[in-house]
Amino acid sequence: MRRGTRLLRSVRTRLAFWHTGVLALVLVAFTAFTWAYLQRLTQDRVDRSLAEAVRSFHQAVITEARANRNPDEAAKDAAREFRFSGRRVLVYGAYHSLVAVSDSSSDDLTQAISAIDRADDSPIHPLFAALAPGRSAYATIRNGHDLIRSYATSVRVADQEFTIVALQVGQVERTVLGNFMQAVLVAIPLALVLAGVGGYFLARRSFAAVVDMGRRASSIDSESLDARLAVRHTGDEMDELASVFNDMLSRLERSFVQQRQFMADASHELRTPIASLRAEASVALSQSRTTAEYERSLVHMRDEARRLSAIVDDLFTLARLDAADGALERHEFFLEELLLESVSRIRPLATDRGIALTFHPTVEARCCGDPLLIDRIVTNLLDNAIKYGSPGNAVLVELETSRGCHVVRVSDDGTGIPADAQARVFDRFFRADAARTRTAATGGAGLGLSIAWRIARAHGGDLTLTSSGEKGTVFTLTLPAIPAASASVA
């Protein structure tokens, strides 16, 4: 029972039903159109034949009347000589009275019509009701289940008016339509059964690749993300689906690898200050110490705690940026004012290290974003430039607006980043310490540039390492600008 229900709910079965249903609608519509066309075609054929029979009979009556015969007698003689197969001709005179009738039919309806002297009292009276003087008329006469097609026209023979009526006697046309309908009633169900069965097996064959993909995909977990779906290289939609799924698996694999690497690096970075704190506390508590020794231990523990707090804060910032995915608190602010405040705050540190820090705002740069996060980018860039600089070096901050974006450049003339390390400067926990000597003062967790890059991307901008070499390093921050019209409205 469960298997039958699952079969009915499957896409293959539904696709076969839809295919059969659409085909049924097409066949029914085609049959209806063909039936109407055949019916009209056969009726036109009958009508032409009736009109031809009346014309022929009219000529025969005229011929008989030329032999100096009475028009009524001429009509009767012509009726006796009428040999039009499958047709009966009746001639009515004044007051729709029957004058003559041919003997070419013996069916009940035409016999009943021929047996009544007045047309107004016979089943043929609707034809006379539709017949206008000097015109012709067609009518379908019904008597119970019997149907007969009739045609009437008014003619003049000598000095007498007649109405000649031709009746359809043969059933050939009706038989053709009946045979057509019988054939349709057999052919359509057979075609639908064949289409349904064929459609199901065709859908089953077409979806075999999808079923195989689902079976393979169900076996893939976080430990086997390197597995891939088979691509048949047929160039069809199944290959495209498999390629898309494989690309998704590749992205997931990279994400899992990065996550594991991030967790491993974070654990390593956190382990060092924690181990240092535990070691310092154990040493301080192992024996009695002087006040000065306790103070030195406390100072060391404080520094390590600050480092640990900074790492935790950076990790929290990265997690918040990843979770927010662009949903940041945004406010309008002037970027040149933010840069001026950041430079003023960092300048004392640069002065202590004998480094000249310069920034001259020359343009008005209106931005929309989180000013605190943008300030963190600028502070990180300036802090790195000063930390890895030497007395006598200079750090320059420039701001310009170009092509709807604000561009901030932070350049220094200190020791550059090695070429083999430049591609990884924005990786998390990466430090190019061989190029920029890492001391207790400058040591970090390698998260600053990664956080800065992530903040820039979250604001719709970018942070790039423009150049780095013997003559110094240049970082470029790009942020979207607010159009002048929008700024004036705000």
The C-alpha atoms of residue 422 and residue 473 are separated, in whole angstroms, by: 11
The stretches in the chain having pLDDT less than 70 are 1-12, 68, 83-85, 104-110, 143-146, 169-174, 258, 261-262, 264-266, 268-269, 272, 322-327, 431-445, 483-490
Query: Would you tell me which CATH number, out of the four given (3.40.50.2300, 1.10.10.10, 3.30.450.20, 3.10.20.740), belongs to the domain 12-177?
Result: 3.30.450.20
Structural domain 328-489, CATH architecture: 2-Layer Sandwich (3.30)
The C-alpha atoms of residue 435 and residue 468 are separated, in whole angstroms, by: 11
The C-alpha atoms of residue 96 and residue 130 are separated, in whole angstroms, by: 14
pLDDT of res. 268:
63
The domain over range 237-321 is classified in CATH as 1.10.287.130: yes
The C-alpha atoms of residue 408 and residue 463 are separated, in whole angstroms, by: 9
pLDDT of res. 155:
87
DSSP states along 458-482: HTT-EEEEEEEETTEEEEEEEEEPP
pLDDT of res. 439:
43
The C-alpha atoms of residue 48 and residue 85 are separated, in whole angstroms, by: 14
Please provide residue 476's backbone torsions phi and psi, each rounded to the nearest 5 degrees: -120, 125
DSSP class of 97: B
pLDDT of res. 176:
74
The C-alpha atoms of residue 99 and residue 96 are separated, in whole angstroms, by: 9
**Per-residue pLDDT tens digits for 127-169:** 887 787 777 888 887 766 667 888 899 888 877 888 888 888 6
- Interstrand relation of 394-402 and 366-369 (parallel, antiparallel or unpaired): unpaired
pLDDT of res. 1:
46
CA angle, residues 227, 233, 238, in degrees to nearest 5: 75
pLDDT of res. 9:
59
pLDDT of res. 119:
80
User: Alpha carbon of 279 to those of 273, 283, 284, 308, 312: distances in Å?
Assistant: 10, 6, 9, 15, 20
pLDDT of res. 458:
85
The C-alpha atoms of residue 100 and residue 164 are separated, in whole angstroms, by: 9
**H-state helical runs in 225-370:** 237-286, 291-324, 335-352
**H-state helical runs in 159-229:** 172-206, 208-218
Q: Would 12-177 and 328-489 be classified into the same CATH topology?
A: no
User: Alpha carbon of 69 to those of 62, 98, 104, 337, 360: distances in Å?
Assistant: 10, 19, 24, 126, 130
Residue 23: half-sphere exposure toward Cβ, Cα within 13 Å:
19
Residue 225: half-sphere exposure toward Cβ, Cα within 13 Å:
13
Which are the contacts of 95, defined by CB distance < 8 A and separation ≥ 6? 118
3-state SS, residue 3: helix
Q: Angle at which helices 208-218 and 172-206 pack, to 10 degrees?
A: 30
pLDDT of res. 437:
40
Q: Which two tokens stand for residue 85?
A: 């197969």
The C-alpha atoms of residue 233 and residue 246 are separated, in whole angstroms, by: 14
| Closest C-alpha to 429, from 348, 318, 283, 322 | 318
3-state SS, residue 355: coil
Which H or E run includes 19?
helix 11-65
Q: State the pTM of this model.
A: 0.50
Domain range annotation of the chain? 12-177, 237-321, 328-489
**Per-residue pLDDT tens digits for 327-361:** 677 889 999 999 999 999 989 888 988 999 999 88
pLDDT of res. 5:
54
pLDDT of res. 490:
40
Q: 357: burial class by Cβ within 10 Å (0-12, 13-18, 19+)?
A: buried
pLDDT of res. 339:
92
Please provide residue 114's backbone torsions phi and psi, each rounded to the nearest 5 degrees: -70, -20
DSSP states along 110-126: HHHHHT-SBGGGSTTHH
The C-alpha atoms of residue 377 and residue 477 are separated, in whole angstroms, by: 9
